[in-house]
Structure 1
Amino acid sequence: MSEENDSRQIRVATFNVSMEATNYRSDGDEKLNEKALQEQLSSGNNSQIKNIAEIIQRVRPDIILLNEFDYIENTDIGISAFIKNYLNKSQKPDTKSIDYPYVFLAPVNTGEPSPFDFNRDGVANGKGGDAWGYGNYPGQYGMVVLSQFPIDEKKVRTFKHFKWKDMPGALQPKIPESGEHWYSEAQWQAFRLSSKSMWDVPIIWKGEPLHLLAQHPTPPVFDGPENRNGFRNHDEIRLLADYLSGESYIYDDQQSNEPFSGKRFVIAGDLNASVHSKETVPGTMELLFEHSLIDAQFIPTSSGGARNDPSDPLAKQHTAFWKSRADYVLPSKQGLVVVGGGVFWPQPQHRLFRLVKDRKASSDHRLVYLDLVWQQL
């Protein structure tokens, strides 16, 4: 957008790219698995990653959050390799390369070992369901922000270590039959709310900050009647809503409880929640849709999503092949006007359907974007 349009208009996107190392090697050796994504990023030839890059090149967002891009601290073999070897190279004769000179990434809770038996299987092995966020190695299912505008890194706030117990009225999971808390007292005192993290990333646009509020809450499934993942998903999203509301109980990873004071913001991410999902705790997405500061009126759609489930009149809103609206770009009411948007999901007869035909082609999620116009406050 920035290359071809007035600087008062910007395109912001989110894309769960399903780029974790376990997708590229299945030999069972975890240490090798952790390096598998790095090897594919350096090659420039992986078909799935090439398709992801082509989708980004065709949509051309100015700012994009990538979910499920493994956290690799050394950016030269991580996100910078993706930009250099894939995005900076035209993937097809009718696509142009694209560059993102500004990047933000940080550690996440997924796969980071805890000392606890969170999943109550009798073994505290520090990974999978016993990690601070579900994952088999540190950094799995990470996230990263790419921007064509400068990032004010000194003012970035992360909330990886915020403890669930510190949220007033937290939905503490219980075993229905006994009423016993799922997590022991020691576990509850230590438990981190964010399955990955929550980020407030100020991006300087027209000399002022546009706050990208990035999240990827845990899926509200893969648990039992205690609904520990459903409750966690709800409260992760509540943390975002309460942060916008300036609730004083929230503190960041620097132990600052300074309230959010941004004017223009965009929420982006795979939130793993839907008002139409039976797994989502009722009222979860309403925390954002009905928030006084959020403009949730515009709903991105696609004809491909509609074709994926012709029996559902809401299918055009879906952002995942498993027939749900799970991915969101939600702007502030102040300072921004939505002028368009969509979901990249071509119909089966379209020549670009090859990019989304199945999970191996690119991802089980679709890129979602909004076009926003700057409005003077």
Structure 2
Amino acid sequence: MKTLIIGLSLASFVASFTTLAQTLKVATFNVSMESTNYTSLGMAPSDKVLAQVLSSKDNLQVRNIAEIIQRVNPDILLLNEFDYIADKSKGIDAFVKHFLNVPQAGQGAVDYPYTYVAAVNTGVPTEFDLDNNGKAEKFGGDAYGYGLYPGQYGMAILSKYPIEYEQIRTFQMFKWHHMPNAQIPVLPAEDGSIENGEPWYSEEEWTSLRLSSKSHWDVPVKVNGSLVHVLAMHPTPPNFDGEEDRNGKRNHDEIRLMADYLTPGTGSYIYDDAGHKASLPKNTRFVLVGDFNAADIGDKHRPDVIEQLTESPYVNNRLIPTSEGGAALSEQDYSRRFTAYWGARADYVLPSTYGFNVQDAGVFWPPSDSPLYRLVKDRNASSDHRMVWVTLEVLESEDHNE
């Protein structure tokens, strides 16, 4: 009976929409285009390294990344680990012009006339010794987000459809302690108890810390009259810490911030970088994209973290993207959903239950016997992550005004 009720409810929900003659392919790709991936140039780590790589117009790793993008050909694409370069002509627009607009290995050129980049917290110095190693070094673990220089591991959005730039919201500056019931890192006491433990951060540090390790973005895109909110983030990996689990707790709360933002009535505490209280209203089309560093199954899964999104009634996680290449990583059936070479589903494209039908999904990960394996054989070939994509059918509500 329960299944029947759910089925009738879903049928009623779908019946309230009319189908547009429109499909939309949305993808996310952690491309490893940050300076430490180009040490052969002999340059000190900075955003100038990627600018140099892009100006050369002939870097094999970047050409392979461009070929993957051309093969999948998404309409909207988030790039993670694309160093932030404020001058777009030397950064994201140079990538589009010199690599995506140029046919790679016989593939057709693709164009993205609308792009968006913004500052991130990685490498932005603080005055504190946040990693408690006895030195306030202003970079690495002592930055607002781990990074050797400002903008390392940045993000970029590319779109074939117009970005509504005036409506973009960013949450780079949101303070962690402003989240109700935030997961405060505590170093356990000798008896192992948290109750008797010592806070990892001083009060001054805690009240200064930004939650987002990179940034959280809400980037609205106009798709033939329908507004789609691209919700992008790249939470910190939940490791590289100790018993205090500071990165694990931060990863949880970074994901929670987006879960609260998209859940009506839950995100009233959230403010954007313009100082405005901001959360999504009911009946809003959105697509969550990014390397969330949160496995949903297997030995790297942390309970109740990614489930904040995948089990939300507002998020459609029914069709999980898979690949043959991922399936070959282990004997476990769930390995076909892996998106990173180290064996986890880390990268996600999750549409709203409202306003879309999911038509297809996949992970670009050719098996080792494929001629295309050359594109993914190691990090030097392209990245240690794989592109994830979902094809959506855009629905228009009969009683909802855009």
- Report the TM-score when normalising by structure 2: 0.89
The residue number in structure 1 matching 2:370 is: 350
| Residue among 160, 170, 189 paired with 2:182 | 170
- The CA distance in 1 between the partners of 2:306 and 2:223, in whole Å, is 28
Q: Which amino acid aligns with 1:236?
A: E
Q: Which amino acid aligns with 2:165?
A: E
The question of whether the paired residues in 1 share the 8 Å contact of 2:235 and 2:291 is answered with yes
Instruction: Give the superposition deviation at 1:336.
Output: 0.4
The residue number in structure 2 matching 1:16 is: 30
RMSD, matched Cα: 1.4
| Residue among 55, 64, 89 paired with 2:102 | 89
Instruction: Give the superposition deviation at 1:125.
Output: 1.1
Q: Which amino acid aligns with 2:135?
A: V
Q: 1:74-113 residue pairs with structure 2 within 5 A?
A: 74-93=87-106, 95-113=107-125
The question of whether the paired residues in 2 share the 8 Å contact of 1:220 and 1:279 is answered with no
Q: 1:172-251 residue pairs with structure 2 within 5 A?
A: 172-177=184-189, 179-246=197-264, 247-251=267-271
2:177 is the alignment partner of 1:157: no
- The CA distance in 2 between the partners of 1:218 and 1:172, in whole Å, is 15
The residue number in structure 1 matching 2:56 is: 43
- The CA distance in 2 between the partners of 1:284 and 1:216, in whole Å, is 14
3-state SS in 2 of match to 1:314: helix
Instruction: Give the superposition deviation at 1:24.
Output: 1.0
- The CA distance in 1 between the partners of 2:260 and 2:184, in whole Å, is 18
Q: 1:222-371 residue pairs with structure 2 within 5 A?
A: 222-246=240-264, 247-261=267-281, 263-276=284-297, 278=299, 280-309=301-330, 311-371=331-391
Structure 1 or 2, whichever has the larger Rg, is 2
User: Across the two proteins, how many residue pairs are aligned to each other?
Assistant: 369
Q: Which amino acid aligns with 1:269?
A: G
The question of whether the paired residues in 1 share the 8 Å contact of 2:309 and 2:315 is answered with yes
| Unaligned 5+ runs, structure 2 | 1-19, 190-195, 398-402
Instruction: Give the superposition deviation at 1:263.
Output: 1.2
The residue number in structure 2 matching 1:138 is: 150
The residue number in structure 1 matching 2:5 is: none
2:131 is the alignment partner of 1:119: yes
- The CA distance in 1 between the partners of 2:58 and 2:116, in whole Å, is 25
Cα 1:34/1:205, change in 2 over 3 Å: closer
The residue number in structure 2 matching 1:62 is: 75
- The CA distance in 1 between the partners of 2:389 and 2:43, in whole Å, is 37
- Runs (4 or more) in structure 1 with deviation over 2 Å come to 25-30, 275-281
The question of whether the paired residues in 2 share the 8 Å contact of 1:300 and 1:370 is answered with yes
Instruction: Give the superposition deviation at 1:290.
Output: 1.4
Instruction: Give the superposition deviation at 1:278.
Output: 4.7
The question of whether the paired residues in 2 share the 8 Å contact of 1:221 and 1:279 is answered with no
Instruction: Give the superposition deviation at 1:259.
Output: 2.8
Q: Which amino acid aligns with 1:8?
A: Q
Cα 1:277/1:138, change in 2 over 3 Å: farther
Instruction: Give the superposition deviation at 1:29.
Output: 5.7
| Unaligned 5+ runs, structure 1 | 1-5
